Amino acid sequence: MSDLWDSFYQTFIFENRYLYFLEGIKFTLIISFFSIVLGLLLGIAVSIIRDYYKQTGKLFLLSKLCDIYVYVIRGTPTLLQLMILYYVVFKTSTLSPIIVGILTFGINSGAYVAEIFRAGYDGIDKGQREAAKTLGLDYLKTMVHIIFPQSLAKIFPALGNEIITLVKETSIAGYVGIIELIKAADIISSRTYDYFFPLIVAALVYLFLTFILSKVMKFGERKLNHVISS
């Protein structure tokens, strides 16, 4: 028992080491939040550009660029993307590693979000678009008021998955010197040579975060549910 207490004391209390955890949680939250927002914005924009090309044949070049973006992002490891952005693209810039992290995870997530939304649009009966067209609604109005809301309801579970994956994936940000949760745990255990508490606590924090997220998504799903029931 006193061993366990000693381990706990060394991990958290001695030299105020819990501050590392708080710092880690803070950066994990910051990176997660902003990359989710960036990923959603980017993904939705890319999905709409590709859908616009598919429906109207316009914006060919932009749509092909979007295809390449999705292909490249999905075809390479996130860690590699992070390292390329940090060590190559922004090598000479003074950009904070946090920003590079947000950019990496946001750009990465955008590709998956775009694919999720594409599946959503493609799953809508094409008669819905035809009905909108015969009422005189153009592409954008149809998208905003009919196709997007219906798709959102259908893809919400998949979107929740993607967001949870993203939060967990931010754990590799330590590679470029960001003190996020895993890095914090790593720093502490390298001082104490005791991995038990740091790793378990990191795991519990992730579990807690994803638990909250899945509750939020479930709530959203219920709100949108009447749309799916038809």
Partner 1 sequence: MLYQVKKLVKKFGKISVLKNINLEIEENEKIVIIGPSGSGKSTLLRCLNMLEKPTSGCVYYHGKVLNDKLYKSIQGKIGMVFQNYQLFDNLTVIDNLTLAPVLNKLMSKGEAINKARKYLRQIHLEDKETCYPSDLSGGQKQRVAIIRSLMVNPEVILFDEPTSALDPEMIGEVLSLIMEVSREKITMIVVTHELNFAQEFATRVIFMDNGKIVEEGTKEQMFKHPKTNRLQRFLNNIQ
Site string for partner 1, 116-155 (x = CB under 8 A): ---------x-xx-xxxxxxxxx--x---xx--xx--x--
Pick the closest to residue 97 from 166, 12, 173, 16 (CA basis): 173
54 is a site residue for partner 1 (CB under 8 A)? no
b/e code 58-77 from CB counts within 10 Å (16+ = b): eeeeebeebeebbeebeeee
Q: Are 184 and 19 in contact (CB under 8 A)?
A: no
Min dist. Cβ of residue 227 to partner 1 (A): 5
Task: Provide the 10 A C-beta neighbour count for residue 163.
Answer: 21
92 is a site residue for partner 1 (CB under 8 A)? no
2 is a site residue for partner 1 (CB under 8 A)? no
Of 145 and 218, CB closest to partner 1? 145
83 is a site residue for partner 1 (CB under 8 A)? no
Structure tokens at 131: 């009905």
Q: How far is CA 26 from CA 3, 20, 122, 181, 207, in A?
A: 30, 10, 38, 8, 16
Of 153 and 184, CB closest to partner 1? 153
Distance, CA of 119 to CA of 115 (rounded, Å)? 6
Min dist. Cβ of residue 151 to partner 1 (A): 10
Residue 98 is which amino acid?
I
Of 17 and 129, CB closest to partner 1? 129
44 is a site residue for partner 1 (CB under 8 A)? no
Pick the closest to residue 101 from 89, 86, 80, 112 (CA basis): 86
Site string for partner 1, 152-181 (x = CB under 8 A): -x----------------------------
- Number of residues binding to partner 1, judged by CB under 8 A: 22
Of 137 and 187, CB closest to partner 1? 137
Which residues of this protein are in contact with partner 1, per CB under 8 A? 125, 127-128, 130-138, 141, 145-146, 149-150, 153, 226-227, 229-230
